Amino acid sequence: MVEQQTPADIESLEVNENAEIVLARRYYRKDFDGNPIEDATKLFWRVAFAIAAEESKYEKTTVSPDVLAKDFYSMMANMEFLPNSPTLMNAGTSLGQLAACFVLPVGDSIEEIFDAVKHAAMIHKSGGGTGFSFSRLRPKDSRVGSTGGVASGPVSFLRIFNTATEQIKQGGTRRGANMGILRIDHPDVMEFIRAKEREGEFNNFNFSVALTEDFMKAVESGEDYDLIDPHNQNIITTLNAREVFEILVQKAWEKGDPGIVFLDRINRDNPTPALGEIESTNPCGEQPLLPYEACNLGSINLNVMLKQDDSNILSVDWDRLRRVIHLAVRFLDNVIDASRYPLDRITEMVTTNRKIGLGIMGWADMLFQLNIPYDSQEALNLAEKVMEFIQAEGRAASKQLAKERGAFPAYKDSIFGERDLGPYRNATVTTIAPTGTLSILAGCSSGIEPLFALSFARYVMDGDKLVETNPFFKAALEERGCYSEKLMDSITEKGTIADIDYLPEDLRKVYVTAMDIDAESHLKMQAAFQKYTDNAVSKTVNVPKEATVDDIRSIYWMAYEQGCKGVTVYRDGSLQSQVLCTEGSKKEEESALVRPKVDRPEIVYGFTQKVETGMGMLYVTINEIDGRPFELFATIGKSGRSITAKAEAIGRLVSLALRAGIEPIDIVRQLKGIGGEHPVFQKKGLLLSIPDAISWILENRYLKSSISVHATNGLTKQLCPECGNELVFEEGCNKCYGCGFTKCG
């Protein structure tokens, strides 16, 4: 790849501290020692130049690549629009894989199943996530004609996909993310619904059940419905639809999994039904795709789409928004040509339909600036108006590109060709995707979500605490004469001002957070944006820990009635995994596992656990004081002196850390995932090495039963696996504001 020099007339870009941390960690190109070899200016120019270069392929283009590159650069540097992370990471590099997510088919044969595993591994290696439908697989215990044996069923094969994902780090920068979908009428649907009851199972998958119109009608009437073998279309049995729906609701209340997608509704909007039926979505659920299609996503920052009149009154800058929409559609269409996909079949499908997904971020910040409460009819009206405008202008831009470049190849047999509505360059134009790290780079709120907290603390690598406060909220407090350090300490502890009665009522109405907003308002906002979105909308419906099963049922039913294509509900505290104390809770409840340095008594008691590793049988002895881990000894049987010495050394260092008061979770974080030459499959999963096995024992013994404690704004937090800060569940995905990690990749 030829190095492209940044033009002298390109203004250098200065980004804020948060953005610089995320860029350096995830996006900048690095040398062999891991040191960045570019800055924000060079990164955005690298991307702009690479995407604009595709313009030269089209004789009828109305703009030169050189001019377009500068326009693309300015659009990104001004944080008006940002493409999805793989484009920022890989455009203009030797990898060149620019798509975020893919959908792969899983056929009903061993060959097809393991082809899907292999293809997923190739996609994860290149930096993408994958969605699968397992609905084609014959049910568990079905007779297999070729062998005379019985089928394992979808859930059994799901474990293989999950384990394969665990071992592959996406493109060196993104951990594999998957969506697993099963139709509600598959005979193994009950096993699928309950598959995540065991903690830690399928940790690399989001699960969703695909609900049909027939099923929803049966739920409404209380009737039975058929479970059908996909292999031969025979009816296997019947279940009561309402009872199954209740179990779905119960599991969503308990664990937040599985979610639901309305499959028939998705296929009614399938622009190219002649090419097949949509079976699955991408990992976060906002992009329904045909097999072998890919996500090509980008988001407009509404935070900067405002203008002031002579009276300093803010309003939407429709002209600026129109300009950015047209430029972004051209950018995303060029991305399709610039990307090098991991499979030829993917290249074929992507270039046949040329789907793009233009979305938004900064919605909550726009509402703050306009003094519009998120949970108001005024906000819903503006949401529809903004998204209708983006959809209409996006279609107009796609139509203009079709004049220059031709319609997408499948246009003639598409729903547009049948109705003579085009031609269009792209089969779809709009998607509201999770903005994850993009919103951190742009310094705005995520997607269409409300803020999770008005002010929160994050911790950097040296342990220093940095307080982040929404700038519009801070400015409003200062303007009203309400700002004080004492007040900010209180808000940082709670995240919200809902119960601070002495603050002006209008401030408390406008500056609301996710947990201040009722479920109905969350869902109405999702439906408002869905109304004018080609694909689907990534949005979390947040409910408090006290929410009942009845509340979840109402949300699911409301999502169906409001026209949503799916729904993700997060009940505070329902997600499983180790949690973290934050500001408010630290003062009330310290983790029972933290202790000061203690000298060793003469007698201590403990336990010894045996575990098989690739280097031999490992015996791990952990002694405890008052139920807390105090010291650890590791011995490896039938191995060489070198391996024995290494096991002993690890045990001594772990013991030293425990006696010094280091938390077990910190030790687990350091040891877990360390690879070795001889990994071994166990019932508990794949053990990579001796340190990985020790981390599993520590985690299983001490971390699975830790007391959940509450964090900012009452949201029970999970730990970021990369930096240890709190994870926030929004846009249907876990996100870290400390380092930019997202669970969805």
Residue 707 has pLDDT above 80, yes or no: no
φ, ψ for residue 73 (rounded to 5)?
A: -60, -50
Average pLDDT value for residue range 656-661: 86
Query: Which neighbouring-strand residues pair with 566?
Result: 261
Q: Range with the lowest mean pLDDT among 97-101, 247-251, 714-718?
A: 714-718
Digit-coded pLDDT (tens) for 7-50: 888 888 999 888 998 899 889 999 988 899 999 999 999 999 99
Q: What is the mean pLDDT of the chain?
A: 88
Q: What is the DSSP string of 143-199?
A: B-TTTSSB---HHHHHHHHHHHHHT-EETTTEE--EEEEEETTSTTHHHHHTTT-ST
Q: Is 80 exceeded by the pLDDT of residue 422?
A: no
Q: Catalytic: which of 206, 282, 296, 623?
A: 282
Q: Are 731 and 539 in contact (CB under 8 A)?
A: yes
Report whether pLDDT(577) > 70.
no
User: What integer pLDDT is reported at residue 745 of this predicted model?
Assistant: 53
Range of weakest confidence among 83-97, 263-277, 606-620, 717-731? 717-731
- How many angstroms separate the Cα of 281 from the Cα of each of 277, 288, 342, 742? 12, 4, 19, 18
CA-closest candidate to residue 387, choices 269, 542, 535, 510: 535
Residue 592: band (very low, low, confident or very high) from pLDDT cuts 50, 70, 90? very low
pLDDT value at residue 516: 96
Q: Would you say 488 and 527 are in contact if contact means Cβ atoms under 8 Å apart? A: no
Question: Taking phi first (over 0 means left), then psi (-120 to 50 degrees means alpha), and beta for anything else, what does residue 479 get?
Answer: alpha
Q: Is the pLDDT of residue 172 over 60?
A: no
Tell me, what amino acid is at 666? D
Backbone φ, ψ for residue 183 (5° rounding):
-65, 150
If you average pLDDT over residues 338-352, what whole number do you get?
97
According to DSSP, the residues that pair with 445 across neighbouring strands are none
Instruction: Give the confidence band of 653 by pLDDT, cuts at 50, 70, 90.
Output: very high
Cis preceding linkage at 36, omega within 30: no
pLDDT at residue 709 tops 50: no
Q: Residue 588 pLDDT > 50, yes or no? A: no
Rounded mean pLDDT, 271-292:
96
Active site residue 286: yes
Which of 444, 458, 404 has its CA nearest to residue 426? 404
Look up residue 691 and give its two tokens: 């340190």
- The tokens describing 719, both together, are 């730990």
223 in active site: no
DSSP letters, 593-653, are: T-----PPPS--EEEEEEEEETTEEEEEEEEEETTEEEEEEEEESS--HHHHHHHHHHHHH
Contacts of 589 (CB under 8 A, 6+ apart): 581, 707, 709
Tell me the average pLDDT across 308-321.
Answer: 96
**Which one of 38, 55, 286, 731 is the catalytic residue?**
286
CA 153 to the chain's CA centroid: 27
CB 280 within 8 A of CB 268: no
- pLDDT confidence band for 626 (50 / 70 / 90): low
Residue 606: CB partners within 8 Å, gap ≥ 6? Answer: 621, 622, 623, 624, 630, 631
3 state SS for 421-458: CCCCCCCCCECECCCHHHHHHHCCCCCCCCECCCEEEE
Of the candidates 406, 150, 449, the residue with the CA atom closest to the CA atom of residue 286: 449
- Of the residues 204, 206, 284, 301, only one is catalytic, namely 284
CA distance 745 to 176: 6
Residue 579: is its pLDDT beyond 50?
A: no
H-only helix segments in 460-601: 471-479, 485-494, 505-510, 519-530, 549-561, 583-588
- pLDDT exceeds 50 at position 496: yes
Residue 122 and residue 317 in contact, taking contact as beta carbons nearer than 8 Å: no
Rounded percentage of the chain residues whose pLDDT exceeds 70: 88
Contacts of 652 by beta carbon, 8 Å cutoff, 6+ apart: none
**Does position 555 have pLDDT exceeding 50, yes or no?**
yes
- How is residue 396 written in tokens? 């107009």
**What is the dihedral angle through the alpha carbons of 231, 233, 236, 242, rounded to the nearest 10 degrees?**
110
Pairwise pLDDT comparison (606 vs 261), residue with the higher score = 261
| Known active-site residue 11 | no
Is it the case that residue 322 has pLDDT exceeding 80?
Answer: yes
Q: Is the pLDDT of residue 586 over 60?
A: no
Query: Residue 261's pLDDT is what?
Result: 98
Is the pLDDT score of 723 beyond 70?
no
Segment of 189-203, 302-316, 562-576 carrying the highest mean pLDDT: 302-316
Q: In the predicted model, what is the mean pLDDT of residues 672-686?
A: 74
Looking at the chain, the whole-number percentage of residues with pLDDT higher than 90 is 66
Residue 638 pLDDT: 58
| Cα–Cα nearest to 7, from 98, 61, 62, 71 | 71
Give 289's pLDDT tier (boundaries 50, 70, 90).
very high
Q: How confident is the model at residue 375 (pLDDT cuts 50, 70, 90)?
A: very high
Confidence of residue 197 (pLDDT cuts 50, 70, 90): confident
CA dist list (Å): 149 to 108, 156, 157, 650: 15, 15, 16, 46
Structure tokens at 257: 């999994």
Mean pLDDT calculated for residue range 667-685: 78
The structure tokens 């084609």 sit at 136
Assign 465 a pLDDT band (cuts: 50, 70, 90). Answer: low
Which pairs with CB-CB distance under 8 Å and at least 24 residues apart come from 193-197? Answer: 193/244, 193/247, 193/248, 193/251, 193/258, 194/247, 194/251, 195/155, 195/158, 196/251, 196/255, 196/257, 196/258, 197/251, 197/255
